[in-house]
Amino acid sequence: MRIDLIEKSFINISGKLYDSEFINLVNIKDNKISLNDRTLFLTIQEKEILNAQSIRGFDDAVYVFKYKNVYGLIADLSIKEYDSGRIKCHELVLPDTVQGMLSNLHGYNCEAAPILLGHRKKIDYKSYIDRLQYKERFSLSEDFVIYVFCGEEATKITEEFLDEEHMYVADGHHRLYTTSLSTFKNSVFSCLISLDYLDIQPIHRIIPNVDAQLFEKAKDFIYSRFEVLSGDTPLSKGKIRIGYGKEKFVVNLIDLNSDAFWNNDIYRLNTQIISQAFRIFDTGSLRYLSNGELIKYKEISSKKDVIIETFPIGKEEFVECANKNCIMPPKSTFFLPKFPSFLIFKQYK
């Protein structure tokens, strides 16, 4: 696998950290952040605050980071590796999303959030850090440190990936595909983390505003077709928990006489429960929540909302599906940790 140095990059040294979903693209002009009228989702005051944040530029660099006990690398990935099939994807790409992203690429000049790629090999980044060959060190918090490597020292780190046959997209399917269609952008800003460090968490479903009579019909269908267990039964592969008001129960999804993809929990949930029991065929009408979001949601949820809790896919099952080029249903995986947005910027034009 060919991993490249970032030819022109910047790091935000203001000490501010933003969620990974905050912003994907930004303009940098004369070594300063330059968000303008094109960025519509931020107020003038918010843009002024962001534009005032200090950044430092580095050429031909990679960034090794340590977050708690997790090590990873921020670098550049040639889109040729994606086009060759060595980057394994597992999620459906939506044309409308890609169209908007292609348009935005022309309006900005820097990527501000890396895609997330998992890989098999566990690289000893600590040995590179201990040799003190990095150019700069930035301590962003007690748990989060970034080391900047440039030139030959950076190349030594990227060469660690030459014997890696595949990488797996954990987040960034649309950005990869958008770049593959672009006529002027030939690489993708990337965060590389060993699968040993990555955690796959579940994504839970909310069916909003379900009438009590409709829920009873769905419940009758489920009890007649599935094994139903106590609501306090711990979840595991093949089990989902359904909650409505004060009622909750666990459902054993039906095993299919096939491979891991067909027995993927989200596929079975969509086909066996959401479409058959609740008669919902457009999953765009659902809400999707992470573990943390679900805890907060339960405190304020409507009594008419159906909460469906899921169990995460295992890493080996995920890799098996990706290696077979299976396209999982949307919102099948939620990987952690995710690298912050608006911290490191890769200039692409």
The per-residue pLDDT for 326 is: 86
Indicate the residue type of 168.
Y
Residues with Cβ within 8 Å of 47's Cβ and at least 6 positions away in sequence, in order, are 35, 36, 39
Confidence check: pLDDT of 168 > 80: yes
Mean pLDDT of the chain, nearest integer:
94
Closest CA to 75 of 6, 7, 8, 152: 6
> Which band of pLDDT confidence, cut at 50, 70 and 90, is reported for residue 38?
confident
Helix (H) or strand (E) holding 168: strand 167-171
Residue 175: CB atoms within 10 Å: 23
Write out the two tokens for 62.
């990679």
Residue 167: CB atoms within 10 Å: 24
Q: Compute the distance between CA of residue 293 and CA of residue 295 in angstroms, rounded to an integer.
A: 6
Q: Please, are residues 318 and 261 in contact by the beta-carbon 8 Å criterion?
A: no
Confidence check: pLDDT of 81 > 70: yes
Mean pLDDT for 7-23 is: 96
- The pTM (predicted TM-score) of the whole model is 0.92
Q: What is the DSSP string of 112-127?
A: -S-EEEEES----HHH
User: What percentage of the chain reaches a pLDDT higher than 70?
Assistant: 99
Query: What's the fold here for domain 203-311?
Result: 3.30.1760
Q: What is the DSSP string of 4-38?
A: E-EEEEEEE-S---B-TTS-SEE-EETTEE---TT
Helix (H) or strand (E) holding 339: none
Write out the two tokens for 285.
């009408």
Domain regions of the chain by residue span: 3-200+335-347, 203-311
Confidence check: pLDDT of 260 > 70: no
Q: Compute the distance between CA of residue 35 and CA of residue 46 in angstroms, rounded to an integer.
A: 10
User: What percentage of the chain reaches a pLDDT higher than 90?
Assistant: 84
Mean pLDDT for 114-121 is: 97
Beta bridge partners of 59: 8
Backbone angles phi, psi at 285, to 5 degrees: -85, -5
Write out the two tokens for 294.
């679900």
Q: Compute the distance between CA of residue 303 and CA of residue 210 in angstroms, rounded to an integer.
A: 9
CA 95 to chain CA centroid, Å, is 19
Q: Across the chain, how many H-helices and E-strands are there?
A: 10, 23
The per-residue pLDDT for 284 is: 81
Q: Please, are residues 82 and 318 in contact by the beta-carbon 8 Å criterion?
A: no
- pLDDT digit string (tens) for 45-54? 999 999 999 9
- CA separation, residue 99 to residues 26, 124, 137, 185, 291 (Å): 18, 39, 38, 15, 31
- Could you tell me which CATH number the domain at 3-200+335-347 has? 3.90.1530.10
Backbone angles phi, psi at 66, to 5 degrees: -125, 115
